Amino acid sequence: MVMDVVVLAKHVPDPQGTPELGEDFLLRREGVDGALDPGDEYPLEAALRITEYHGGEVTVVSMGPEPAMTAIRRALSMGAHRAVLITDPALRGADALVTARVLASAVRRQPFDLVLAGIESTDGYTGTLPMTVAELLGVPAATFARRVEVNDRIVRTERQTEEGYDVVECPLPAVVTVTAGATEPRYPTLKGIMQAKQKPVERLTAADLGLSPEELAPTQSVIAVEAAPQKAVGEIVQGDDAVTRVADFLAEAKVI
């Protein structure tokens, strides 16, 4: 059974750097070094393994400004077959719902069996996007998978939990989010890097997806940003009775 797998991938400002906010409180994305979100390499690795086993192709779908091509090239050099990049000035400041609409519309344009995504982005941390995309596509979502397998049109995942994992199965097509507990992503190879440029990348605007200005209008806006409150200075307990006093304090706070 040949599988068409879509991976949702995001270009994020350099994960090692300090992110900066613009005057409108939106993350500065232009003129900042960026990369494929490291969290997106896990679903990509899972997608590559699935198509290597079953046959089929991996399509990377990303929404972002021009520099997002860096992330797409990275995914293609790791082995993805083709990519779709949605770039549109109207999408600047798109919130999670608008982004999900855009991605779902782009995914719907081609046949797909499985959509894989990371659990959350390392810049936004909303963690709601993949489930929203599933809802818009009208397919089930299985989340927090540390393992993804496909058999007879059924996707079987191991959903990571605090104690271990739950086995979750659902029929295809489906959306699955993959954790960093899954198989380590591969390195791009030299051949992969050199072939990436020849692979097809479709570039779309919001208009190409047939989305109306109303559908693109953010439903959220950031009106203020405050620094996280400083942690209050702790109390230093010294002296012979220190142990008892610390124990009393912890008991009072109901932590022991």
Partner 1 sequence: MAADAIDPLDFLDVDRLLTDDERAIRQMVREWVADRVLPNIEAWFENAEFPREVAKELGGLGLLGMHLTGYDCAGTNAVSYGLACLELEAGDSGFRSFVSVQGSLCMFPIWKFGSEEQKKKWLPAMAAGDLVGCFGLTEPDAGSDPTRMRTSAKRDGSGWVLSGTKMWITNGGIADIAIVWAHADDGIRGFIVPTDTSGFSAKDIHRKLSLRASVTSELILDDVRLSNDHVLPGVVGMKGPLSCLSEARFGIVWGAMGAARSCFDTALGYAKDRVQWGRPIAGFQLTQEKLTDMALELNKGMLLALHLGRMKDEGRVRPQQISMGKLNNVREALKIAREARSILGASGITLEYPIIRHMNNLESVYTYEGTNEIHTLIVGEALTGLRAYE
70 vs 126, beta carbon nearer partner 1 = 70
197 vs 245, beta carbon nearer partner 1 = 197
Q: What's the closest the beta carbon of residue 191 comes to partner 1, in angstroms?
A: 5
DSSP for 105-139, written as a single string: HHHHTS--SEEEEESS-TTT----HHHHHHHHHT-
CA of 190: how far to CAs of 18, 44, 62, in Å? 30, 18, 23
198 vs 230, beta carbon nearer partner 1 = 198
67 vs 124, beta carbon nearer partner 1 = 67
- 37: which residues sit within 8 A by CB, 6+ positions away? 9, 10, 11, 12, 15, 71, 118, 121, 122, 123
Give the closest residue to 39 by CA, choosing from 100, 139, 126.
Answer: 126
Geometric angle at alpha carbon 155, from 51 and 103, rounded to 5°: 70
Q: What's the closest the beta carbon of residue 186 comes to partner 1, in angstroms?
A: 9
Phi/psi at 163 (nearest 5 deg)?
-90, -30
- 175: which residues sit within 8 A by CB, 6+ positions away? 114, 115, 116, 117, 130, 131, 133, 134, 137, 139, 140, 141, 142
CB 130 within 8 A of CB 99: no
What does the binding site for partner 1 look like in residue numbers (CB under 8 A)?
14, 17-18, 20, 31-33, 70, 73-74, 77, 187-191, 193-194, 196-197
d(CA 214, CA 216): 5
Q: What's the closest the beta carbon of residue 174 comes to partner 1, in angstroms?
A: 31
Q: What's the closest the beta carbon of residue 8 comes to partner 1, in angstroms?
A: 21
Q: Is the dihedral of CA 99, 102, 104, 110 positive or negative?
A: negative
CA of 58: how far to CAs of 17, 172, 222, in Å? 30, 16, 35
97 vs 193, beta carbon nearer partner 1 = 193
Q: What's the closest the beta carbon of residue 180 comes to partner 1, in angstroms?
A: 14
37 vs 158, beta carbon nearer partner 1 = 37
76 vs 133, beta carbon nearer partner 1 = 76
